[in-house]
Amino acid sequence: MKIKILLFANLKDRAGTREVELDLPARATAADLKARLAEVYPALKPMLITAIVAVNQVFAASDTLIPEGAEIALFPPVSGG
């Protein structure tokens, strides 16, 4: 399945684009998505370890399944004071 992924902050800067498209197998998880993204965009690999995945505007755990047609977004970890 083809998935569009929105990248934010320094993830977007490293990839050189705000949106990427990946082919993922059916029943892929958020962890699978990060692994595939690291293969296609090696510059993102160090940042993906701590990146937050949102699936349909809800933060996702590593084992969350990615449904076909889902809205996917990746964010770097956020800290504040």
Q: Please give the single-letter amino acid code of residue 42.
A: P
Domain segments of the chain: what residues?
Answer: 2-75
- Residue 20 three-state SS: strand
Mean pLDDT over all residues of the chain? 93
pLDDT for position 80:
60
Q: Which CATH number fits domain 2-75: 3.40.640.10, 1.10.3720.10, 3.90.640.10, 3.10.20.30?
A: 3.10.20.30
How do 2-7 and 52-55 pair as beta strands? unpaired
Tens digits of per-residue pLDDT, 42-76? 999 999 999 999 999 999 999 999 999 999 999 99
Write the CB contacts of 52 (distance below 8 Å, at least 6 apart in sequence): 59, 74, 75, 76, 77, 78
Q: Report if pTM > 0.75.
A: yes
